A and B are shown apart, each in its own frame.
Chain A
Amino acid sequence: MNAFLIILTGSLVAITCGLLGCFLILRKMAMIGDAISHSVLPGIVIAYLVAGSRDSTLMLIAAAITGVFTTFIIEFLNKHGRLQSDASIGVTFTWLFAIGVILISAYAGQVDLDQDCVLYGEIAYVPLDSWITGSGINLGPRALYIIGFVLLLVIFFIVIGYKELFLTTFDPAFASAIGISVTLWHYLLMTMVSITTVASFELVGAILVIAFLIAPAATAYLLTDKFKTMLFLTVIIGVITSFSGYYLAEWINGSISGAMSVISGLLFALAFLFSPKEGIVVKRVKYGFKTN
């Protein structure tokens, strides 16, 4: 039962992150996703301090604000400070993350978070933290509800904004020429990434959030050149990753989120080598050894 709950939670995280990841990597914004996943930390800690507990709603709101704030600072440094974009990203996320870690140390007594958890989460404890109603009925793990809710939110977002997201990703100049606000959709997407990051953060840690944002989407991208298929494949790859990651961790007695990101990397490697269209081994067999 516990194994099922952990795999289910992992899958939901992977699907939520993966769907947004498809847009991120096509927009060449993978590293912005990386930055957000680190810099929401101070937002989380402050939300903890304000609420005095793990109030999920407040946490999601705080995250959305910090995430958007991060993108805003990155763009501000880039445009007004004329700092090159890679450096703007690097300066911003390390700065915010460092503040987050300091806040954790300063309020160690009040904040139920530690550095290890920040980096690699505690998905193994998911089944322990159940949502129990006033009348004492056990409704199952709380984390599952939160990530489930965020997944629905993300799906809703993609369904209603599909056209706009697709177009602003592919051809932003054309999009704004026909009157679609590129900036608006950019910030909406960043808000969704921030919310997702926070919901996933405690479960899998900052690093696996990045792995889930990028790896399944990148793998799917190598396997297809249809966008809808890419979204669909990302979901499947996310589930496979979660499933095999859990058992890999079980087998060698190590961190579950570490194992899941290793699996996501292995799946990418397989696609990179053997994808029917893109795989480098396949290309060599097809076109002889001279290519590349």
Chain B
Amino acid sequence: MSAEIENPVLEIHDLTVTYSKKPVLWDVDMTIPKGSLAGIIGPNGAGKSTLIKSIMGLVPIASGYIKIFDKDLKEVRKNVSYVPQRGSVDWDFPASVVDVVMMGRYGHLGFFNYPKKADKEVALDALRKVGMDAYKNRQISELSGGQQQRVFLARAIAQQADIYFMDEPFAGVDAATERAIISLLKELADKGKTIVVVHHDLQTAPNYFDWMVLLNTRLVAHGPTQEVFNDENLKETYGGKLTLLSEISKLLENKRFPAREAK
């Protein structure tokens, strides 16, 4: 069950990722079309975050390749935005809201350049979009979970990218924030931006996303929501791991076998 599309903005070919020789993603082949709001869905330990991290070059890949706008990540970094899990940073860090959002401009600045007035405008504008402009001088340690997530989103918007990768942006946020974030994402998608979101709530998923990637260490299905979001695929995604596959994974790890032959 794979969809072939023309001119995808994201193309993943035969991607295998291993952690200490154990494959956590197995031969993933997928594409995402421009302007879609795509959800990566799957149970815990399915490799959803790993998929995003490997797209962003944060974990080494054992085989395959990834193309964004038909190019390597390095060439298009300025057009790509990444929102890590909220829990991955220390919110006791001495920084203000605007400091964090300004980080979204760093990629455009280059070495030894300080943010200019125009960058500040972009940052403030991003804060307005997420409804946090009143908090711009607050310290991040004083924010609630939902507010922290909005700040992260504002940072991503300040990057002015064309494709966004978000790792669990709805984890532990209040209902109002969740609604605000999703409507903002829809707005971005309408403007032709592509948004890829790791998500684990099956209830809300079909309402949020127009494109779905069902994942459980291997790709179960991907395509337009109405085509792939059905009982059969969900059962396969959530119906436990393939025992043979996970035993071979374990074997690779225990025997220290390379997941791909060294070339």
Chain A interfacial positions (CB closer than 8 Å to B):
26, 160, 163-164, 166-167, 169-171, 173-174, 176-180, 221, 224-227, 229-230
| Number of residues from B at the complex interface, CB < 8 A | 31
In the complex, whether B3 has a CB less than 8 A from a CB of chain A is no
Contact B106 A163 (CB under 8 A): yes
CA gap between A225 and B97 in the complex, in Å = 11
Which of B112, B113, B141, B155 counts the most A-chain CB atoms under 10 A from its CB? B112
Residues of B with C-beta under 8 A to A166: 95, 99, 103
The one of A179, A180, A227 that contacts B74, using a Cβ cutoff of 8 Å: A179
Contact B88 A173 (CB under 8 A): yes
The chain A residue sitting closest to B96, CB to CB, is: A226
In the complex, whether B170 has a CB less than 8 A from a CB of chain A is no
CA gap between A227 and B139 in the complex, in Å = 10
Q: A164-B111, A178-B106, A226-B139 are in contact. Are A171 and B88 (CB under 8 A)?
A: yes
Q: How many A-B residue pairs have CB under 8 A?
A: 73
Chain B 139-167, CB-CB to A under 8 Å as 1, else 0, gives 10110000000000001000100000000
The one of A163, A177, A221 that contacts B56, using a Cβ cutoff of 8 Å: A177
Residues of A with C-beta under 8 A to B88: 171, 173
Residues of B with C-beta under 8 A to A177: 56-58, 77, 80, 82, 84
CA gap between A226 and B81 in the complex, in Å = 26
Residues of B with C-beta under 8 A to A26: 90, 93-94
Residues of A with C-beta under 8 A to B1: none
The chain A residue sitting closest to B114, CB to CB, is: A163
CA gap between A227 and B60 in the complex, in Å = 33
Contact A225 B74 (CB under 8 A): no
In the complex, whether B258 has a CB less than 8 A from a CB of chain A is no
Residues of A with C-beta under 8 A to B77: 177-179
CA gap between A227 and B89 in the complex, in Å = 16
Q: A170-B95, A226-B96 are in contact. List 6 more A-B contacts (CB 8 A).
A: A167-B103, A170-B93, A170-B103, A171-B103, A224-B94, A225-B94
The one of A160, A174, A221 that contacts B82, using a Cβ cutoff of 8 Å: A174
In the complex, whether B109 has a CB less than 8 A from a CB of chain A is yes
Contact A227 B99 (CB under 8 A): yes
Q: Give 3 closest A-B pairs by Cβ, nearest first.
A: A178-B107, A177-B82, A225-B139
Identify which of residues 48-82 in chain B touch chain A, using a CB-to-CB cut-off of 8 Å: 53, 56-58, 74, 77, 80, 82
Contact B94 A221 (CB under 8 A): yes
CA gap between A26 and B141 in the complex, in Å = 14
CA gap between A179 and B78 in the complex, in Å = 9
Residues of B with C-beta under 8 A to A169: 93
Identify which of residues 194-251 in chain B touch chain A, using a CB-to-CB cut-off of 8 Å: none
- Chain A nearest CB from B256 CB (Å) reads 12
